[in-house]
Amino acid sequence: MPSYSEKSVTVLGLGPMGRALAGAFLDAGLPTTVWNRTPGRDRDLVERGATAARSAEEAVAASGLTVVCVVNYDASDAILRHDAVTAALCGRTVANLTADTPHRARDTAEWAAGHDIGYLDGAIMTPTTTIGTPAGVFIHSGPTALYQEHRPVLDALDGTHTHLGEEIGRAAAYDIALLDIFWTAMAGYAHALAVARAEGVAARELAPFAMGIGAILPPIFEQTAVKVDNGNFSGEDNPITSAVSSMAHIVHTSEAHGIDAGVMRAAEGMARRAIGLGHGTDGFVRVTEVLGRR
């Protein structure tokens, strides 16, 4: 039988998020073992009571649950699929909170199953400052029984934990979609600030109005989701032809100042494609259906 405590945890990867995770486990009183490929990042954690492992193999052997948080699955594979580490993980569980694609999550789950390793996939949807507080948001996917078994340890991270189902790629799918929203929005905001600045409007002057735009989005998101699921693409209130007109104004103003309008041109192109397919009286939400066509 393994010699580890059921209420212990190992953290592999001590970048900013990994250190936050390990710190939250320590604050919750859990015996925590840490390891990082680059030496020296564990010093403050060791001072707080963590055990520094000399190798990844030693680290994963110390706990029933290993939490991985590195830059991508290339990095996690390089650690986990080393023969000695794989052998040490046999009969234990990995909760991989590394961000990557649904396909990579499924591939890793297949590898884990072939080596008698329990596998949960997940993602962290909030910044490092929220870890260990009620504001943290975690999503998970994988076998329900395995998730429930390790939930008491994961709960030490505080915040909201949501199990999205047994299909292992589901958490990564949510992560990709939600980050799509975030980075598209940030790209739009950065572009808007550049255009505003070119027109003599300071970023701080625009910010309060930008926040107002942000505030109207949640109900629009909800209404749009209902429409998409119901196959209702009506543009009665705001047809896509009207949206294209406003997009064109943004493109023209941007390019008149020598500002790259590639992001808005892409959005305009999607809308014009929908119009060209005969959906000019529909709303912008028709783009969702058009993009999904094969």
Q: Where are the domains of the chain?
A: 9-167, 173-291
What are the helix and strand counts (H, E) for the chain?
Answer: 12, 8
Which stretches does DSSP call E strand in the chain?
A: 9-12, 32-35, 51-52, 65-68, 93-96, 118-124, 137-141, 160-163
Q: Which fold has domain 173-291?
A: N-(1-d-carboxylethyl)-l-norvaline Dehydrogenase; domain 2 (1.10.1040)
- Class of the CATH domain delimited by 9-167: alpha beta
Q: Is the pTM above the cut of 0.75?
A: yes
Question: Does residue 6 carry a pLDDT above 80?
Answer: no
Question: Does residue 111 carry a pLDDT above 50?
Answer: yes
Beta bridge partners of 282: 234
CB 44 within 8 A of CB 99: no
Contacts of 18 (CB under 8 A, 6+ apart): 11, 12, 36, 69, 70
Phi, psi of 198 (to 5 degrees): -65, -25
CB 250 within 8 A of CB 264: yes
Question: Does residue 101 carry a pLDDT above 80?
Answer: yes
**Mean pLDDT, residues 119-140:** 98
Confidence of residue 1 (pLDDT cuts 50, 70, 90): very low
Question: Does residue 4 carry a pLDDT above 60?
Answer: no
Count Cα neighbours of 237 within 13 Å in the Cβ-side half-sphere: 6
pLDDT attached to residue 237: 87
For the chain, what percent of residues have pLDDT higher than 70?
98
Tokens of 84: 């000695």
Beta bridge partners of 65: 93
Sheet hosting strand 118-124, strand order edge to edge: 51-52, 32-35, 9-12, 65-68, 93-96, 118-124, 137-141, 160-163
